[in-house]
Amino acid sequence: MSADNDDNRPDEVDLSDPKLSRFEVYREGLRRDGIEILHYEPRYPKPGTKLEKRMERIVASLFFGSGLFATLFVAAYIFWPWEYDGAATWRDPRTWYTPILGITLGLSLLLIAFAVLTWAKKLLPVEELVQERHDGGSSSEDRRLAESTVDTVVDDMGLKRRPFLVKAALLGAAPLGLAAVAPLGGLIKDPGDMLTVTGWNGDKHNGGNPVRLMMKDGALVRPDMVSTGGQITVYPAIEGGATNEFASAPTLLIRLRAQDAEQLRENLYPMYQDVDAMWGDFVAYSKICTHVGCPTSLYEQQSQRLLCPCHQSQFNAIDNGAPIFGPATRHLPMLPLDVDDEGHFFAKSDFLVPPGPAFWNRPSLPEEDEQ
Amino acid sequence: MKRRKGTNENLMTKAGGELDDRFKLAGPARVLMNKVFPDHWSFLLGEIALFSFILLLLTGTFLALFFEPSMTHVTYEGSYVPLQGVGMSKAYESTLNISFEVRGGLIMRQMHHWASLLFMAAILVHMMRVFFTGAFRAPRETNWMIGILLFWLGFFNGFTGYSLPDDGLSGTGLRIAEGMTESVPFLGPWVSAALFGGAFPGDEVIARFYILHVFVLPLALLALITVHVGLVFAQKHTQWPGPGRTEHNVVGYRMFPNYVMKQVGFMLLVFGVVTAMSGLFQINPLWMFGPYEASVVSSGSQPDFYVMFMDGLIRLFPAWEFRVPPYFTLPAVFWPGIVGMGLSVLLPLLYPLLERRFTKDRGHHNLLQRPRDTPARTGLGVMVIVFWVIGVVSGGNDVFAQAFHISLNAMTWGGRIGIVVLPIVAYYLTYRFCLGLQQHDREVLAHGLETGILMRDPEGRFYEVHQPLVEPDERGHTELEYSGATVPKKMNRIGVLEPAQRGFFKSIEEPSDEDGRRDQIETGNKR
Ligand code: HEM
Ligand code: FES
């Protein structure tokens, strides 16, 4: 191809020459692909040596082994007892179903992999070839031909001569593009009050009556159900109140020790004082972390901290649930508590500020900035 | 025997002729089979990603036969005793059924999960190799950018994937994603409502994630992987500098049979390793997490490793919230969550262009660079790795705190300070280290290899004997220019100290006859 043809590069051969060997024809193919042989020799100079025979035997037995394990896999898949019945121990063959499938199929694949790789590495000829690399675009001739083709097409359409038509086409196509994505609008939904109103809102979810507290199983909550220093998770006692339908409603009801309750009363933000949010030694905090919304489910009685396991925000239970460590920035909203005539807890209102993670137009009260 | 072989050959020729009549294959097939590939172990890293992707498609299709992407409420009646009678979504129930009720379902689930982890890990390591060797330079910037997109598509494909079962762990991940979405100024609440069809979690998200996970994202991955590998093919692979290797050639072996056999073998190897692992090592035992409930989470719940980096950043970022009451709030999570993720897409995407700008190097490069020869780039890469690793470790800081009895607060503060300081330290150290390695290369080229042989001269001084790489001048110096290729550092690299004979108990080599060997090189005849 190129002029700097060094001597070891073969010249073009005449393919019609009947005396050409297969190798010479092959090498002509390489030459036409810009490839030159630097080094090419059989792995075993003398065919049939001990070493070569040994390699062949190894590869063959790897193939056989692979077949054997594949057969074992299929057999195990079909015949090994597998149905889980709940009481299996490691002695039970059923517990071994998955490991046996993995080992048999895995070994079968590994053995055939080694067979192919050994064949490639130990039996194929030793070779090194060099191929030309044509980097950096087409020849100037090709470019010129392409340019004139594009120009002709542009001219045929008259894109330069008919600017009005081009504008009209764009004006027609742009709305059509919009129309293509418009159906995605079906996804759009007004967030409305989904981030601000929870299941504790009696007006919305309980026909205007205050919402009582319940446990997960539906039992209403009475003060004597929580021991001093203890805590339970409570849900709004409405239809589906404990399900994910009301994912921002779960609340932690804590019965503080007397001296801790005393301290909390002293610390209480004015907005919570105004509504008298505590009931006796009881306080209820939203369980939804104000960072990004995991349940703040760990209560450390000793230090009076609430801990969120997701990113380790910590909140002070005797200071309005204010954040004291970690990435959270806002206190855990308090649920204003009271007890009705029948002795059941109820929420005097929804949370005063929205629980959970923040959003840009989250209504915040001045009290929050005192923190 | 002989005759049958003959007929077979005729058959092949005939079949080939029939095919060529119709598809005109003779030319392209020859070009393809003859194509020369360079060889280096680090060129196989991309392949691992490719093979795990194939495995993901295969196992995923199996899972899709049994999985039901529905949030309809059901009561579990299956054979896993602890959950019997528990209310859950159909999605979770069907995943439990794949694990317990479908023959071989569990190993398929575990294969799918292990393959996804291997996929992401292989992409990361492949990306590092491309970065540190400068393989992303012109003309391969496009392929680098496609690569970055592949990483992020993989990231989201993985995230949507492990959200599907609707178990306790995946629901928590979704909740965090929802909190991050909400934090975007002006758009957040609307985007979240659109994604979840109203308030979190709603009952649409699993179905939506399902179509993303099994159709949209894999299709995009498949298309981009095809273009990616196609470009590697068309632009020809880069090669390491070395004797006879230039910017204008490729030195290696042929596509057929050598390259293809090694690839097929390697693919089966990856398949085998993932299969064996999936039989032996449990992954994501989601029956232990229970169904997702907004009020329940356990500590030590970690996402998959490639998401942990984001989680770590979110943990470390200080509680800085910008507020103009009562009109506007910019939540702290916006910075690491949205801005951080945006930058981790954008900066790597643009890196080839940025480097071009700084080095003013506009040439094409087909020879790779050794990391030591580009200390600034190598330093930058190590810097990013250190940053990333601290992010990942912080994503599991509660686990570390517990395992090593460190206080969580100390872990968090260590992470906060470390993620700012250590990358800078890493950059400096790497830079110095690279210069040191360069220096050593030059020394070997000038004086030769250290042989480890100590001599004592007549005055009693000790010195080490050096083995020059070429015939030295009278002052013992060799004038060798550094070419960007590996410089031998050990005697056995230049052929000294090799075992004289091969074989363990007895020699398995027969003395080769040199002349016969010559003959075959000349003629190329193998038999
Ligand atoms: C889905 C994931 C990916 C797959 C399946 C994949 C596959 C491959 C394969 C098979 C090769 C050829 C062999 C090699 O050099 O390793 C390759 C090369 C390459 N990849 Fe990827 N890759 C993926 C992701 C990435 C990423 C994340 C990047 C970087 C951001 C990247 C950048 C490149 C570049 C620049 C090359 C050309 C390398 C050269 O010619 O030296 N790839 N890829
Ligand atoms: S969600 Fe609670 S700390 Fe992040």
Residue B20 in any domain: the answer is: no
Residue B358 DSSP SS3: helix
Q: Given this model, what pLDDT does residue B527 score? A: 33
Question: With contact defined as beta carbons under 8 Å apart, do B33 and B254 qualify?
Answer: yes
Q: Residue B240: nearest ligand to its CA?
A: 1
Question: Do B204 and B186 form a contact (C-beta atoms < 8 A)?
Answer: no
Residues 498-517 of B with CB under 8 A from A: 508-510, 512-513, 516-517
Q: B217: Cβ below 6 Å to ligand 1? A: no
Domain assignment of residue B94, yes or no: yes
Q: Would the pLDDT of B526 be above 60? A: no
Confidence of residue B467 (pLDDT cuts 50, 70, 90): confident
Q: Which of A247, A354, A290, A191 lies closest to B189, judged by CA? A: A191
Whether B13 and chain A come into contact, CB under 8 Å, resolves to no
Contact between B315 and B395 under an 8 Å Cβ cutoff? The reply is: yes
Distances A33 to A112, A130, B2 between C-alpha atoms, Å: 33, 11, 34
Classify residue A29 as exposed, middle or buried by CB count within 10 Å of its CB (0-12, 13-18, 19+). middle
| Calpha distance B415→B51 (Å, rounded) | 35
- B486 in any annotated domain: no
Ligand in closest contact with the CA of A357: 2
Residue A367 has pLDDT above 70, yes or no: no
- In the numeric block, the tokens 């997702």 are attached to B292
Distance CA A30, CA B36 (A): 10
Q: Distance (Å, rounded) from C-alpha A130 to C-alpha B252? A: 6
Q: Is B182 on the interface with A (CB under 8 A)?
A: yes
Residue A369 confidence (pLDDT): 58
Of B236, B265, B510, the CB nearest to A120: B265
Query: A153-162, A359-368, B274-283: lowest mean pLDDT where?
Result: A359-368
State the CATH number of the domain containing residue B364: 1.20.810.10
How many residues comprise chain A? 371
Query: Over 70: is that where the pLDDT of A233 sits?
Result: yes
Per the CB < 8 A criterion, the answer to whether B396 and B411 are in contact is no
B421 in a structural domain: no
For the ranges A281-285, B211-215, B402-406, the lowest mean pLDDT is seen at B402-406
pLDDT in tens, A45-75: 888 888 899 999 999 999 999 999 999 999 9
Please, what sign has the CA dihedral across residues A50, A56, A59, A64?
negative
Average pLDDT over residues A207-217: 95
Query: What average pLDDT does the segment B81-92 reach?
Result: 95
pLDDT of residue B501: 60
Our answer on whether the CB atom of A318 is closer than 6 Å to any ligand 2 atom is no
Is A358 touching ligand 2 by the criterion CB < 6 Å?
A: no
Tokens, residue A310:
């997701």
Give the domain-ending residue among B369, B404, B439. B369
> Is B258 in contact with A127 (CB distance < 8 Å)?
yes
Q: For chain A, give the mean pLDDT.
A: 92
Q: What's the pLDDT at A45?
A: 86
Please state the three-class secondary structure of B410-463 as a single string: HHHHHHHHHHHHHHHHHHHHHHHHHHHHHHHHHHHHHHCEEEEEEEECCCCCEE
pLDDT band at B324 (very low <50, low <70, confident <90, very high): confident
Give residue B483's pLDDT: 87
DSSP percent split of chain B into helix, strand, coil, nearest 5: 60, 5, 30
CB contact under 8 A, B266 and A117: yes
Q: How far is the CA of B476 from the centre of ligand 1 (A)?
A: 45
- Which whole number is the average pLDDT over B120-133? 98
Note the pLDDT of residue B480.
85
A357 lines ligand 2 (CB under 6 A): no
Distances (CA, A) of B473 to B196, B447, B489: 77, 10, 21
Identify all chain A residues contacting B397, using CB atoms and an 8 Å cutoff. Answer: 312
Residue B12: what residue type?
M
Residue B236, phi-psi category: left (phi > 0), alpha (psi -120 to 50), beta (remainder): left
More confident residue, B111 or B461: B111
Cβ <8 Å between A33 and B31: yes
Helix (H) or strand (E) holding B147: helix B141-163
> What is the predicted pLDDT for the residue at B297?
81
Q: How far is CA A310 from the centre of its chain?
A: 16
- Rounded to whole angstroms, the Cα distance separating A13 from A8 reads 14
- Structure confidence at residue B518 as a pLDDT band (50, 70, 90): very low
Q: How far apart are CA B400 and CA B409, in angstroms?
A: 12
Angle between helices B397-404 and B375-395 (to 10 degrees): 70
Q: Which residue has the tokens 């039996």?
A: A123
pLDDT of B163-176, one tens digit each?
A: 999 999 999 999 99
CB A285 within 8 A of CB A332: yes
Task: Tell me how far the alpha carbon of residue B170 lies from the centroid of ligand 2, in angstroms.
Answer: 15
Of B338, B320, B186, B176, give the one whose Cα is nearest residue A361. Answer: B186
Domain boundary among B348, B369, B390: B369
Number of domains in chain B: 2
* B112 in any annotated domain: yes
- Looking up tokens 């496009």 gives B142
Can you say whether the dihedral through the CA atoms of B368, B371, B374, B380 is positive or negative? positive
B258 and B119 part of one domain: yes
What's the Cα-to-Cα distance from A14 to each of A8, A28, A349, rounded to whole Å? 18, 9, 97
Distance separating alpha carbons of residues A247 and A288, to the nearest angstrom = 9
* Residues A231 and A203: beta-carbon distance below 8 Å: no
B228 C-alpha vs ligand 1 centroid, how far in Å?
Answer: 7
Predicted local confidence at residue B523, as pLDDT? 43
Q: Which of B73, B299, B329 sits opposite A362 (nearest CB)?
A: B329
Picking from B369, B402, B427, the residue at the C-terminal end of a domain is B369
Contacts of B520 in chain A (CB under 8 A): 41-42, 45
Q: How far is CA A78 from CA A74, A182, A214, B278, B416, in A?
A: 6, 52, 50, 19, 54
Whole-angstrom Cα distance, residue B181 to residue A54? 63
A331: nearest Cα among A347, A346, A313, A348: A313
Using CA coordinates, name the residue in chain A closest to B32.
A33
At residue B291, φ and ψ (nearest 5 deg) are -70, 160
Element (DSSP H or E) covering residue A36:
strand A35-41
Task: Report residue A250's pLDDT band, with 50, 70 and 90 as the boundaries.
Answer: very high
* Helix residue spans in chain A (DSSP H): 22-32, 50-79, 97-118, 140-157, 163-181, 202-205, 258-267, 270-275
User: What is the structure's pLDDT at A203?
Assistant: 94
Q: Is residue B237 part of a domain?
A: yes
Q: What is the pLDDT of residue B398?
A: 87
Residue range(s) defining the domain that contains residue B156: 35-369
Residue B325 included in any domain: yes
CB contact under 8 A, B276 and A102: yes
Strand A314-316 and strand A322-325: the pairing is: antiparallel
Same domain, B216 and B355: yes
pLDDT tens by residue, B45-59: 999 999 999 999 999
Q: Could you tell me if A284 and A252 are in contact, meaning their C-beta atoms sit under 8 angstroms apart?
A: yes
* B359-383: pLDDT as tens digits: 999 999 999 999 999 999 999 999 9
User: What is the phi-psi region of residue A343: left when phi exceeds 0, alpha when psi lies from -120 to 50, beta otherwise?
Assistant: left
- Residue in A1, A239, A294, A313 to test binding to B, most B beta-carbons within 10 Å: A294
Angstroms from B454 CA to nearest CA on chain A = 39
Structure tokens at A89: 């121990």
Q: Examine the pLDDT at A5 and tell me if it is beyond 50.
A: no
Would you say A194 and B199 are in contact if contact means Cβ atoms under 8 Å apart?
yes
Q: What is the pLDDT of residue B365?
A: 96
CA atoms of B324 and A307, how far apart (whole Å): 28
Of the given ranges (A1-15, A308-322, B301-315), which has the lowest mean pLDDT?
Answer: A1-15
First to last CA, chain A: 80
Residue B252, phi then psi, degrees to nearest 5: 180, -145
Is residue B511 helix, strand or coil?
coil
CA dihedral A233, A236, A238, A244 (to 10 degrees): -70
Whether residue A279 is predicted with pLDDT greater than 60 in this model: the reply is yes
Give the 3-state secondary structure of residue A38. Answer: strand
Residues on chain B touching A65 (C-beta within 8 angstroms):
none
Structure-token pair, residue A293: 């919304």
In this predicted structure, what is the pLDDT of residue A4? 44
Which of B34, B198, B333 comes nearest A35 by C-beta?
B34
* pLDDT reported for residue B520: 42
Q: Is the predicted pLDDT of residue B442 greater than 90, yes or no? A: yes
What span, in angstroms and rounded, lies between the C-alpha atoms of B354 and B331? 31
Task: Note whether residue B269 is domain-resident.
Answer: yes
CA distance B164 to B40: 39
Say yes or no: CB of residue B45 within 6 Å of ligand 1. yes
Q: State pTM to two decimals.
A: 0.92
Q: How far is the CA of B437 from the centre of ligand 2 (A)?
A: 45
Whose CA is closest to A217, among A234, A201, A230? A234
**Residues A249/A198, Cβ–Cβ less than 8 Å:** yes
Pick the closest to residue B365 from B37, B38, B138 (CA basis): B138
Interhelix angle B305-316/B375-395, rounded to 10 degrees, is 80
pLDDT in tens, A299-352: 888 889 999 989 989 999 999 999 999 999 999 999 999 999 999 999 999 999
- Triad B299, A287, B175: Cα angle to 5°: 65
B157 at interface of A, judged by CB pairs closer than 8 A: no
Which of B42, B125, B130 best tests ligand 1's pocket when mutated (most atoms within 8 Å of CB)? B130
User: B325 Cβ partners below 8 Å, 6+ apart?
Assistant: A364, A365, A366, A368, A369
For residue B174 and ligand 1, the question of a CB distance below 6 A is answered with: no
In the numeric block, which tokens belong to residue B3?
Answer: 């005759």
Specify the pLDDT at position B466: 85
Nearest CA to B294 out of A193, A357, A352, A293 is that of: A293
In chain B the first and final C-alpha atoms are separated, in Å, by 19
Whole-number pLDDT of residue B509: 58
A286 neighbors A356 (Cβ within 8 angstroms): yes
Task: Return the top range by mean pLDDT from B1-15, B230-244, B317-331.
Answer: B230-244
